[in-house]
Structures are given as structure tokens and as C-alpha cells.
Amino acid sequence: MTNAHSRPLFALCTIGLGASIAPMDFAVNVAFPAITDAFALAVQDIRWVVICYVITYASLMLAFGKLGDVIGHRAVFRAGLIVGTLAFAACGLAPSYAWLLAARALQGIATALVLSCAPALIVAASGDAQRTWALSRYTMTAAVAGIVGPLIGGGAIQLIGWSGVFWFRLPVALLALALLARLPAGDTTPQPRRRMTWSASTLLATGLAALLMTPALWPGTGHAGWPLASGAAGTLLLVWFARRERGHAEPVLPAAAVRDPAVRLANLSSVMINLVGFGIPLLVPYYLARIGGFNAATIGLLLAIATVGVLLASTVAPRVLRAAGQQRTTQLGAALVALAQLVMAFWPAEPSIAALIPGLVLHGMGIGFFQVGYADFIVASLHARDRGVAGSLTVLTRTIGVIISAVVLSSALQVLEARHLADGLAAGDAFHAAFRWVFVGSGLLLAAYVAITAYRAAR
């Protein structure tokens, strides 16, 4: 198990298994109707099950990545698995909705601890020479977990109710914890005399949380005061954080992550591609149900086809990276996502499964190429001692894109649908027309972004 050939594979399996508790959270979406019934909730209140979790892990990601760089990535990853087991039990035992939301926040802490240091551990175990291979396989394990999680979660719900989507991940975390103890030493060791800047990390985490909460507060608050206050508070805290960081001997964000134009552009590209790409899990299920008339099982299988595209791209991504380079690989991924959006925009009013597959596969392949190329670039751009921050950046930028997408694309669909209904279109036709324009607009936006960045890179 510890020879040179088996060690990277064992590390990949161990760390991939532990990190899979995050993508397996897609299973919670399957339990939304059951949770709503169990706690007698209004439908719009279920969104807080997602918000409490996502905003917690997104706001803490960079701070925990920095903590891993200071005290060791394995220690932070192990803490995440321990907290995760407690969180899954707390969620499964929740006697009230408030308890469940608090437990989901605890789960967000566990996810931030695990995901912030998983890429650094995998790269350290594989070595820099195998970095691209390791990151591509890590992307593949996340894609597989995203497929398997909802399937197991659905079966667990049938057996024991809504809590099953939390209980089935507890043994996964425990198994990863046991395997981690057998993983040979070799993760990035903390540097001598490095210190954790807790005050700056606290400012960063609270500022990000307040800023990310802003779009979540818009619907259902009754007035604009709360989201405006949250946005203002987040902005002020992040400005304060930036001033504290300036000239600090041990900043949370290394200079390359802030000052390097190529790194800034890569992070912006991640936000953009996820802003556009999240339209598939967000809006396509409604198209499949309302226009296609597919049942829930078929919709789940169709969405899984996109993940098959991620697996395909992740398999060949190392070869593409060697041949084309990091920048062109990420541009290829973004271009494929833009093309997929335009293909889906012209899905017919009476769809067949065969007509839907090409767009979904294109989307998945685009995401796969981009994720591997982007992660490889960020990890290579930052110093080896900042690998925790590098891995955290890739998750944070993805999450920011998803949160913006959830607000912008759903609002655009709602506005366009209402306008078409006012023009006298039938309900199904109004939705289909709105769906088409949202996907045309988002596809063209991403295509224009790819063209502009490619032109700038060629100059």
C-alpha cells in the first residue's frame, strides 16, 4: 500500500471519498418535499436549508485553506470529517426546523474544512509531476459522487424518511477518517514560524458571509432594507480586511492571488462559467417537467448525463492540457458551455430524449475541461506553501457564480415569463419562450466573454 505506485492512488481514493460528502449533498434536493411536509413549511422557506449550508462553507473556505497552510492540510481535513459526522447526526436527529438549519450550518463548517485542503493533499501525495493527473481524477470522483448521492439518498428517503439523505453520509465520513489514518505521511508540512492571522480571517469570513447573504435576502423580505444593509456591511468588512492585509507579513491571501492579472482573470472566468452553467441544474428540470412532461426519475437520469460529460472531459483533460496548455483548455471548456447553452435554447416544444442528450453532454464536458484547467492553473500559480488557499479559491469562485446565477437567471426567467403571459401566450408557451431567451442571453454572454479574453491573451 505504501509503495511509490500505489500511494497516489490510495491517497486519491481516501481523500476523494472524504471530499465526496460535499457533492453528495445534491441528495438533499431530493428530500425537499419530504422536509417541507415534515416541518409544515411554506415552499419558499425550504431555500434556507441550502442558504445556511452554502453561505457557511463559502465564507469560511479561504480562512480554512489558510489554516491548512499553517498547521497542515491533513489536520484540517481530518477535523472536517469529524465535524461532518457530528453534523450529519445532528441533521438526521433534528426535532425542529431551527435545529435543522443550525445543523446545516455545522455541516457547512465541515465542508469548508474538507474541501479547502483536499486538493492540496492530493497534489502533495501525487507530486507536482502528476499534479494534472491528480486534479483530473479528483474532478472525476466529485462527478461520480454527484451522481451516486441523489440515487442513494432517494433510496434512503424511502427507507427511513427525509433524514436518510444525511444518515447515509455518516458512514462515508467515518470510513474516510479510518482510511486517512493509514495514509502515509507526506502532505504539505506547515512552514516554520508561520502564524494564523485570526483577526484578518474573521473579517474575511464575516464580510464574505454578509455579501453572499445579500442576494439570498432579496426574495421574501418585503423591503430592500435587509439586503442593502447586508451588502453594505459585507463591503465595509472586506474593505477593512483589505486594509489589514496590506503590508502584512503573513497575509491570508498571498500576493499572487491578489496582484497577478492572470490569476484574477482566471477567478473571474470561474465566476462567469458557473454563473452561466448553473442554469442547467436550476432551470432545465422545469423545462423537462413542464415542456417535456418527464417524471422525476427521468429528469434525474437526464441531468446525470451532464455529469457523464464531466467524467469524459476529466478523463482526457491531462492530455489536452499537455497539448494545448492551461489557458486554451479553460477557454475550450468555457466555449463548450456557451455552445451548450445555445443548443439548449433551441430545444423543441415537444422534446425527445435523443434531442436533449447533445446539449447536456456538451455542458458537462465544458465544465470538466474548465474545472481541471482552472484548478491546475491556480495550484501552479501560487507557492506550494499556499496550496490550501489555492484549493479554496477554486471552490469560492464557483460558489459565488452559483449564488449570483440562482438570483439572476431565475429572476430573468420569471420576468420574461410574466411578460409573455401578459402578451397572451399560453402558460407552456410563455415558459418555453422565456426559457429560450434566458439560455440565448446567457450563452451569448459567455461566448462574448470567451472571445474577449481570447483576444486579449493573443495580443
pLDDT for residue 213: 77
Q: Are 45 and 100 in contact (CB under 8 A)?
A: no
Question: How far is it, in rounded angstroms, from Cα 341 to Cα 354?
Answer: 17
In a domain? residue 190: no
181 and 261 share one domain: no
233 and 350 share one domain: no
415 and 286 share one domain: yes
- Using the CB atoms, write b or e for 399-431: b if 16+ within 10 Å: bbbbbbbbebbbebbeebbeebbeeebeeeebb
In a domain? residue 207: yes
207 and 273 share one domain: no
How many separate domains does the chain show? 3
In a domain? residue 168: yes
283 and 178 share one domain: no
pLDDT for residue 176: 93
In a domain? residue 156: yes
245 and 261 share one domain: no
202 and 301 share one domain: no
405 and 326 share one domain: yes
402 and 455 share one domain: yes
Radius of gyration of the chain (CA): 22
In a domain? residue 54: yes
445 and 405 share one domain: yes
Q: What is the pLDDT along the chain (459 residues), one digit of tens a residue?
A: 344 445 677 888 889 899 999 888 877 877 777 888 888 877 567 778 888 898 888 888 888 988 888 888 899 999 999 999 999 999 999 999 999 999 999 999 999 999 988 888 888 877 777 888 888 888 888 888 877 887 787 788 888 888 988 999 999 999 999 999 887 765 444 454 556 677 777 878 888 888 777 777 765 545 667 777 777 888 888 888 878 777 666 777 776 677 788 888 889 999 999 999 888 877 888 888 888 888 766 777 787 788 888 888 888 888 888 888 888 899 999 999 999 999 999 999 888 888 899 999 999 999 999 998 898 888 888 877 777 888 888 888 888 888 888 778 888 888 898 899 998 888 888 989 999 999 999 999 999 999 998 888 776
In a domain? residue 222: no
64 and 202 share one domain: no
In a domain? residue 220: no
In a domain? residue 401: yes
Assign residue 142 the CATH number of its domain: 1.20.1250.20
Range(s) of the domain holding residue 160: 1-185
pLDDT for residue 6: 57
pLDDT for residue 107: 96
